[in-house]
Amino acid sequence: MNNDHSSSGDRMQSRTASGLSGFLTNVKYLLKGKVLVANVLPVFTAFWLALYFSGEDFSSHFGTFLLTMIGSTLIIAGALMFNNWYEADLDKKMDRTQNRPTVTGAFTLTAVFRSAVITTILGFGIMLFTTVEAALYSFLGWFFYVVLYTFWSKRKYTINTIIGSISGAFTPLIGWAAVAPANHIVPVMLFYLLFIWQVPHTLAIAIRRLDDYTRAGVPMLPVVSGVPMTIRQMLIYIIALLPFPFVLLPSMGLIFFIVTLGLTAGWIILAFRGIKTMDTVLWARMNLRYSLIYLIITLLVMILVTI
């Protein structure tokens, strides 16, 4: 997942802020604040759902909950820092990443690399106190994002979007496996949701920031194959979300089904408009916002219907 670039005022603030507030601002940009939250939320959702479907009480698993949330957050943060460290040269060429401390020089690359290593090791160490399965999914998510996405495919292949999406899809498996084995239809479908959802979400960013990716030489799909082809691919992936509410209807109930199906139908309608639109940047911005609304509401509804 990627978050959009901030305003020029935010960038100037990042460059000039000092003291504790400046440090925290730089940390936020380093960890891609919204991206971190968007990856941690599925961990929490799946943990909650695992307790519900296992008939377990939250209070009796509070210690495991803290370990899971802290450990997974550190691992995700470590992966994001590795990404910023490795892509500092690309970020300097893109308007949307000018506020990152690896670009402004607020943090040295050596400091970012060491922080990434330490944070990742701490995260894995903590996750090992939950379950081996949860630690394994944490490693797989980290490996796909850092090694296969950041180090290998990002600069070479359009399939980088798919690989990055696989990485993010492991997050609900982490949360569920901390409570019970993830061989249940709910975590499997959450993996499916996160994988499919991230593709049109990321491609919407790539269309909106096409000039950035072109200038940096990143082979995103709209750079290599054009915007019309990318829009058609996005539509296919959004349509692929349709089975999600149907498969989980017996487990999650009618309210979940109606809300999720309605959200999916709305996104499909919006995606179809992209085929004939003349303003692809505006359309991409609308899709980006809708994708975030779709994910947040879907996960929150899954929590609310199981309270």
pLDDT tens digits, the chain, 307 residues: what are they? 444 444 444 444 444 446 788 888 898 888 887 888 889 999 999 999 999 999 999 999 999 999 999 999 999 999 999 999 999 999 999 998 999 999 999 999 999 999 999 999 999 999 999 999 999 999 999 999 999 999 999 999 999 999 999 999 999 999 999 999 999 999 999 999 999 999 999 999 999 999 999 999 999 999 999 999 999 999 999 999 999 999 999 999 999 999 999 999 999 999 999 988 889 999 999 999 999 999 999 999 999 999 9
- Torsion sign, CA atoms 170, 1, 16, 92: positive
The total domain count for the chain is: 1
User: Is 292 a member of any domain?
Assistant: yes
CA distances 68 to 32, 187, 205, 224, Å, are 20, 16, 30, 39
Does residue 53 sit within a domain? yes
Q: Distance of alpha carbon 277 from its chain centroid, rounded?
A: 27
Residue 221 falls within a domain, yes or no? yes
Q: Which residues of 177-201 are buried (b: 16+ CB within 10 A; e: fewer)?
A: bbbbebebebbbbbbbbbbbbbbbb
Q: Would residue 3 count as lying in a domain?
A: no
Q: Tell whether 38 is covered by a domain.
A: yes
* Structural domain includes residue 1: no
Residue 34 has what pLDDT? 81
Angle at 66 between CA 60 and CA 71, to 5 degrees: 140
Q: Which amino acid is at 303?
A: I
* Domain enclosing residue 201, as ranges: 8-304
Is 39 within a domain? Answer: yes
CA dihedral 152, 155, 158, 161 (to 10 degrees): 70
In 3D space, the residue among 219, 218, 223, 234 whose CA is nearest the CA of residue 274 turns out to be 234
Q: Give domain status of residue 156, yes or no.
A: yes
pLDDT of the residue at 18: 60
CA–CA separation, 213 and 144 (whole Å): 21
What CATH number is associated with residue 112? 1.10.600
Three-state SS for the chain is CCCCCCCHHHHHHHHHCCHHHHHHHHHHHHCCHHHHHHHHHHHHHHHHHHHHHHCCCCHHHHHHHHHHHHHHHHHHHHHHHHHHHHCHHHHCCCHHHCCCHHHHCCCCHHHHHHHHHHHHHHHHHHHCCCCHHHHHHHHHHHHHHHHHHHHHHCCCCCCHHHHHHHHHHCHHHHHHHCCCCCCCHHHHHHHHHHHHHHHHHHHHHHHHCHHHHHHHCCCCHHHHHCHHHHHHHHHHHHHCCCHHHHHHHHHHCHHHHHHHHHHHHHHHHHHHHCCCCCCHHHHHHHHHHHHHHHHHHHHHHHHHCCC
